[in-house]
Amino acid sequence: MDNNLGTQVVEFLSSTQDEWQDTEGGLTVHKAISMAVNAWKAKGKAKHIDTYRRHLKDFAEFTDIALHNPRTIDKLDRTFMAKYRYFLHVRKTAKGEPLSPRTIQLHLDSLRAFFNVMKELGYVKSNPVADIDSAADRRARVAADPTEESPLTMEKLRALLSLDFQAIGGYWGLRDYALFVVLVRFMPRSSELRGLKWFHLQEDVLIIPRCKHNVEGVYRLEPDLCELLYEVQKRYGLRADEPMFISQKRCQFSETGLLKLVKKYGEIIGLPDLLPKHFRTRMGSELSREFDLVTLQNYFGHRSPDTLNRWYAKRPRHETQRVYESVSAWLPPIRLDSGTLSAR
């Protein structure tokens, strides 16, 4: 069990006055979760299973502490689910921060899907999550604005791109500069940036595979950016099937490794808590003033596969390219001077 989660569950339950009563018989929570996963696999919902499993694992840990044997699903009524929903609101992350409204909703959506399976199989008469969580509640959480604006201002962003990467990063300065140029211009998610490989760059066209089963981004690069990226490949001797941005161990960046790199440069510009997602949120805020949300949806990779036919014909690639050109116009020119590309 996650010790941090377990401690929070114990503290939460000890602070409440409700008594949990035992009932006999019934399907156990862990067995029910296993059955639900098998049902999702049979229905071809593989793309959601990892998320469902992660959220149901947390829920199972909660029931392990909140309930006494036998821990059966007939005890998971609307009162119990309301208690768990309240726990999600007071739960803290590893950094001591509360869960965002959207994260809470994702947990509840996973539980709603779980109880839908149990209802179909005849183990529960109604979905207790649906009983306590209306469509209006869900819309309010999903539409909730971020609690804090990105600390990365445009002034700080330009200052970062103007740093002497050669002096700061040494041999890896060129890699660091190119990485931030890509991060700023295309706002990939951390996993998308780490997953980029050299075969994704085809002459002057960069293809960014988007995670979460979204449609890939396709961007035509200006000559200076092409030259910069190909210089990175040449400097570090990288093959087409290798990561575009390698770590010092010459392998794909780990999540922690990328966070440390961004934090290192963030400290230099006065943002010690800088994260990769701050580039995405800052540029999203700036671009939303100039472009409609559907065009930005394409550019940021927010589209799911089922919206491809609906929107792509209405927002062709040239409009996505226009977003890229606007971003490039806001930023300092790409540097190809000796200070950036020394030791060729």
Q: 154-330 has which CATH code?
A: 1.10.443.10
Q: Which two tokens stand for residue 287?
A: 């671009």
Residue whose tokens read 């309240």: 86
**pLDDT, tens only, 177-208:** 999 999 999 989 898 999 999 999 999 999 99
Q: What is the 3-state secondary structure (H, E, C) of 35-80?
A: HHHHHHHHCCCHHHHHHHHHHHHHHHHHHHHHCCCCCEHHHCCHHH
pLDDT at 312: 34
Per-residue pLDDT at 307: 37
Adjacent-strand bridge partners of 246: 252
| Domain ranges across the chain | 3-142, 154-330
d(CA 308, CA 211): 15
In angstroms, the CA 340 to CA 166 distance is: 6
Q: In 3D, which of 67, 57, 51 has the Cα closest to residue 109?
A: 51
Burial of 235 (C-beta count, 10 Å sphere; 0-12/13-18/19+): middle
pLDDT of residue 309: 33
Higher pLDDT pick, 250 / 135: 250
Q: Are 177 and 265 in contact (CB under 8 A)?
A: no
Q: Taking a C-beta distance cutoff of 8 angstroms, is the pair 217, 230 a contact?
A: no
Q: pLDDT tens-digit profile of 55-99?
A: 999 999 999 999 888 888 888 998 999 899 999 999 998 878 888
CATH number of 3-142: 1.10.150
Can you give the pTM of this predicted structure? 0.58
